[in-house]
Amino acid sequence: MARRLASAGWTHRPLRTLGLASVFVAVRVAMTIAGLTASASPVLGVHLLVLPSGSGLYPTIQAAVDVAVDGDVILLAPGVFTGSGNRDIDLRGKSITVRSQFGRADECVLEPSVGGELHRAFVFQSGEGAGTAVEALTVRGAGALGRDGLNGSGGAVLCINESAPIFRDCVFLENQAESDGGAISCRESSPTFFACRFEGNSAPYGGGLFVDRPCLPFGSLAAPPEVVIERCEFFANSATDGGGLFARGVHSRVHLAGVRFSDNFADHGGGIMIHGALATIDSAAIDHNFAVSEGGGLALESTLFCRPQPADGQDVIEVQLAETILCGNVAGSGGAVHIRGYSARFESCTIAMNDAGDGSGICARSQFPTYPYLPAYVELAGSIVAFGSLGAAVYQDAHSSVFADCTNLFGNGGGDWVGEIGEQFGENGNIALDPLFCNPNSGDLGLMADSPCQDYPGGCGLIGALPVTCEPSDLPDADDPRVARFGTGHPLRLRAFRNPFDDRIEGVLALQAADLIELELLDVVGRSVGRLDLGPRSAGTIPVAWTLGSSLPAGAYVLHATGRRGSVATPLICVR
């Protein structure tokens, strides 16, 4: 049975404090003075309290780290930590925990860059392992500046030298990096993230998180990094490649489970970009991300020379998705997923209401369009691709392969079983039937009890990521004029907009029901360059002709249409 996706927002687990902490701290200080710290039991551990004011036994976080030994817990009192000693914190390879005193990230904030200079919060460079943890903290406004070496990597946190710390219940907010990893950069390192939130971070590569292992001619001496990300949220991060996450490097492995990527932005891979790495994505939600070019939700791209191969020499599926929803993503090509010269398998996934010109759901291309080197390879099993705009459900070029079984393609603007994949319709349990989602307008893609996907015969069983979650009687009668059930499920849509455009935007807006509509044009960094109030409009199609004038610079833009019932966006290119 398909698992329900993890809901957003997790409660922080309560912190159990040690009643005699002050006694142990005093003993630790005495032992330190006497040079006896090494004899302290790493199992016992003590709690070292640090205050934002700098008063107390430990004036800064770094001062507490320097005194701590394996097993200790550094407690940060509520407040904002700034200044020297509370930034660029080096845990020096110790198996210790740094956490907020009461287990609440919103009460304990590190602001490393107060004062005008950009600084990180933490640096892990001494092979820290799973015994090293950062818990229930917020890092806000940190930054890494520079293009040389690692200077511009990891705005809030840098992990190198095979470090593998654990981050739990943390928030990384509005951090930036000039090179990679707006919040965190992991280079040949294997951290674990559990119930963390990445919001409003930015970098050229990996707006939220960057994972890398260099491709060297004779291999790397470091063990392949294996990054685990569970129950985390990536929201409104931005990058050139990989708005939320960018993972690259041969044999780098990223495991995502119960995560959500929403409202992230990039040129390539609005939510996630995988470049030469291996990834598993399980029970995830990738929704309402935007890419100017390729892969609104997810972009997969091969490297030319370094490709992972198993020991037995057989082919390997490089990215595997299971029980995952990709919904409401927008791109020029591959609204939900763009695959270039890579292999991917989608098992029990729901891909719905994504927008793109080529492949509203999936676009599969070889690395070189005119030469059959590094073709894309895609498997669809027990999945739904439905209600995409403009493009077909699946697009593939002449060199790439897409194989489907027990898959439902339905209601896509450019067609369902069309092109190369068309010959598979009606075989191996492949269908084109309305999946009967419960309430797609509100994001509920569970199935009605009479959905053909809830238990399709022929051995298919459940098709899609979610099981039956509602009865038909839960909804008003479809003939009721108050209920306008578009086949697409969108409350409003942008259709047939001329792209590229010059000084005039032209197209058609489709409304599911009467609404107040406003158009807004944003540049690639999210700045508004124009608004047009369309006022109250009745349900139906509305021609749009918006003259912006010759002063608008050439480049990439995003057109947003917003009403009380929802909003949609589409990429546009202005040419001069």
pLDDT digit string (tens) for 380-435?
A: 999 999 999 888 999 999 889 999 999 999 999 899 999 999 999 999 999 999 99
**pLDDT digit string (tens) for 479-515?**
332 222 223 344 566 655 666 778 888 876 767 677 8
Q: What is the mean pLDDT of the chain?
A: 84
Query: What is residue 64's DSSP assignment?
Result: H
Q: In a 3-state reduction of DSSP, which class is residue 75?
A: strand
**Residue 213: its pLDDT value, please?**
79
**pLDDT digit string (tens) for 21-43?**
333 344 444 433 333 333 333 44
Q: Is the dihedral of CA 312, 250, 278, 185 positive or negative?
A: positive
Pairing of strands 515-523, 555-563: antiparallel
Residue 438 CA to residue 150 CA, distance in Å, equals 48
**Degrees to nearest 5, angle at CA 78 with 76 and 82:** 70
CB 139 within 8 A of CB 167: no
- At residue 335, φ and ψ (nearest 5 deg) are -55, -50
Q: Give the lowest-confidence range in 86-90, 347-351, 516-520.
A: 516-520
CB 145 within 8 A of CB 153: no
Residue 110 CA to residue 105 CA, distance in Å, equals 10
Please state the rounded mean pLDDT for residues 226-231: 96
* Preceding amide of 452 cis, omega within 30: no
Q: In a 3-state reduction of DSSP, which class is residue 109?
A: strand
**pLDDT digit string (tens) for 282-333?**
999 999 999 999 999 999 998 765 555 544 444 678 999 999 999 999 999 9
- Cα torsion 347, 351, 355, 358 to 10°: value is 30
**Overall pTM surpassing 0.85 (yes/no):** no
**Which of 207, 209, 115, 203 has its CA nearest to residue 158?**
209
Distances (CA, A) of 125 to 85, 367, 570: 17, 36, 42
* Cβ-Cβ contacts under 8 Å for 298 (sequence gap 6 or more): 269, 271, 272, 273, 274, 286, 326, 336, 337, 338
CB 326 within 8 A of CB 299: no
Residue 533 CA to residue 164 CA, distance in Å, equals 51
Taking residue 459's Cβ as centre, other Cβ atoms within 10 Å add up to 9
**pLDDT digit string (tens) for 523-575?**
877 788 999 998 888 776 677 888 988 788 888 788 888 887 777 777 777 87
3-state SS, one letter per residue, for 237-280: CECCECCCEEEECCCCEEEEECCEEECCEEEECCCEEEECCEEE
